[in-house]
Structure 1
Amino acid sequence: MAKKKESLGELVKTVVYALLIAGVFRTLLFQPFWIPSGSMKSTLLVGDFLFVSKYSYGYSQHSLPFSFLPFDGRVLASEPERGDVIVFKHPRNQQDYVKRLVGLPGDRIQVTEGILYINGEAAPQRPNGEFLEPAPYGVRLQCKEWRSVDGERLCVKDSFIETLPNGVEHVVLNADSNNAPYTDNTREFVVPEGHFFFMGDNRDNSSDSRADLGMVPFENLIGRADLIALSFGGQIWEVWNWRADRFFVSIN
């Protein structure tokens, strides 16, 4: 009987230790995040499961569970870099968003005919072929054209590799500017101190700092999206829809 009680006690301690380790891991180091929308295609796809490094920029009320920090701002703060893919809290509705950081405090940001301008200089784009995605009837997408392949309706967009001023390269998607006037031609924005300007890589299918989102305060940043751990094209149990080529892939 004593051995049984001892074994039970060891089991309880093991479970408690495991929960504590998981809690520290989740609270201070990495946060899991599912991609729910297509605003970051082709960098991130719907169904990607990410690990977000919470320590990258320090900690704030928004990056820690239950917002238990008793003050505003960040502790152990580290400035993000242009081109980082970041998970953050929307300034008004507090939902989690993931976008790419393109504008730093003091920057002037404008999009003209689909080209991103930072402080009056265009971020160069070079052609990267086409991006095709299934688009069932009833799904609204901005597309360059519609194409039917083997009876499947596909949304076609141009793909480009964009180079930011600090040398970061990443893929962006763009539809025809006539289909997306408000995203391909904007006014000039000035990023205020302590804020950042975000855009989705799927430029014409992203709600970002060009319109609804606005500028994002530094304290709203949760962490940097570093790794695609898993990726599912449908339900998790649908093994035939797993995207194994995206398992354990770094995010650029």
Structure 2
Amino acid sequence: MAEPSTAKPATSPAKPRSETSETIRFLLKLAIIVWLFRSFVFAPFSIPSESMLPRLLIGDYLFISKWNYGYSRWSMPFGVPPVSGRLFGSVPARGDTVVFRSKGEDDHDVIKRVIGLPGDTIQMRRGQLFLNGQAIAKQRIADFVVPLSPNFDQRHCEAEFVAPAPEGATCRIPRFRETLPGGRSYEVLDQRYIPDADDTQVFTVPAGNVFLMGDNRDDSADSRFPSADEALPGQPQGMGFIPLERVQGKAVIIFWSTDGSANWLLPWTWVTAARWDRIGGGFD
């Protein structure tokens, strides 16, 4: 009598993955990791304008931390997915430098300083900041001096502030130190009297919003001015009040800075264009 066969059925060998599919899998995993890191931990931000002088120069690159004020759709790159509300939400402190998403159809990332919290009143009188009816200390200090460069040329510095120097022309702008209640202080620039910016109505910050201003008080479209969809014809436009859910994160450290003179085809100019003394600078 024949014994039953114990041979195992033949199995086909596993189909090897192609090099292309492995590369795609790796890139997808990398993209997910980068998306998670940018959304929930740190994200880079570059300074495109002079509105936060003297603290931030055009050509500065910094990291913002994403966990300080909670998470919303604007914590995610490009605001995707479009979820509503905030998770683990908290209110910034007065004086924090924050990145937020502006309102309107041309919404984009912007950086300003938090001046007013929900319920606060803010007003400018002859260039003096008043918070909850009390004048904020404003002390004249040494002029802000920055060399003229491709990233900060004479278009950014009015002729009356250009000063010759042995190493090249510089821009010298009147500088002041403001000190908020509780002792938080920062530097601001104030070149001249501008009625719409230096004499304002009394603003009362609504619940769930903050009032933001640029440190370069004469060159910042901020909460002193209504947003484009709120402004009347002929009225200067700014940001208006910013909802807390649009605040993305807090500025923490400058990781690179360039004066704009580098040529990407000439690697040695990447070194000469760097503003090394600015790298590593933090925020109070």
Structure 2 vs 1, CA of residues 186 and 146 (structure 1 numbering), >3 Å: closer, same or farther?
farther
Aligned equivalent of 1:147, options 160, 163, 166: 163
Distance in 1, matches of 2:110 and 2:162, equals 28
Aligned equivalent of 1:80, options 92, 96, 104: 92
> CA contact under 8 A between 1:56 and 1:78: conserved in structure 2?
yes
Query: Does 2:207 correspond to 1:207?
Result: no
Distance in 2, matches of 1:41 and 1:143, equals 17
More strand by share: 1
Deviation at 1:158, TM superposition (A): 1.3
Corresponding residue for residue 94 of structure 1: 107
Structure 2 vs 1, CA of residues 171 and 33 (structure 1 numbering), >3 Å: closer, same or farther?
same
Q: Which amino acid aligns with 1:166?
A: G
> CA contact under 8 A between 1:143 and 1:175: conserved in structure 2?
no
Q: Secondary structure at the match of 2:200?
A: coil
Q: Which amino acid aligns with 1:56?
A: N
1:163-202 pair list within 5 angstroms: 163-177=179-193, 180-202=194-216
Corresponding residue for residue 46 of structure 2: 34
Q: Which amino acid aligns with 1:215?
A: F
Q: Secondary structure at the match of 1:22?
A: helix
Aligned equivalent of 2:275, options 237, 243, 252: 243
Deviation at 1:245, TM superposition (A): 1.1
Distance in 2, matches of 1:201 and 1:132, equals 15
Corresponding residue for residue 134 of structure 2: 121
Deviation at 1:153, TM superposition (A): 5.3
Distance in 2, matches of 1:45 and 1:201, equals 11
Deviates more, 1:218-227 or 1:66-75: 66-75
Deviation at 1:111, TM superposition (A): 1.1
Distance in 2, matches of 1:149 and 1:163, equals 32
Q: Deviations over 1:48-83 (max 9, x none)?
A: 111111111111111113534564220111211111
Corresponding residue for residue 233 of structure 1: 259
Q: Which amino acid aligns with 1:248?
A: G
TM value normalised by structure 2: 0.77
Structure 2: which 5+ residue stretches go unaligned? 1-15, 226-237
Q: Aligned residue pairs: how many?
A: 245
Structure 2 vs 1, CA of residues 140 and 32 (structure 1 numbering), >3 Å: closer, same or farther?
closer
Larger RCO: Structure 1 or Structure 2 (Cα < 8 Å, ≥ 6 residues apart)? 1
Structure 2 vs 1, CA of residues 183 and 117 (structure 1 numbering), >3 Å: closer, same or farther?
same
> CA contact under 8 A between 2:211 and 2:242: conserved in structure 1?
yes
Bigger radius of gyration: 2
Amino-acid identity (%): 38
Distance in 2, matches of 1:142 and 1:110, equals 27
TM value normalised by structure 1: 0.86
Query: Does 2:174 correspond to 1:162?
Result: no
Deviation at 1:246, TM superposition (A): 1.2
Distance in 2, matches of 1:70 and 1:22, equals 19
Deviation at 1:15, TM superposition (A): 6.0
Distance in 1, matches of 2:44 and 2:202, equals 35
Distance in 2, matches of 1:213 and 1:108, equals 17
Corresponding residue for residue 53 of structure 1: 65
Corresponding residue for residue 243 of structure 2: 217
Q: Secondary structure at the match of 2:73?
A: coil
Structure 2 vs 1, CA of residues 73 and 158 (structure 1 numbering), >3 Å: closer, same or farther?
same
Q: Secondary structure at the match of 1:183?
A: helix
Distance in 2, matches of 1:18 and 1:70, equals 22
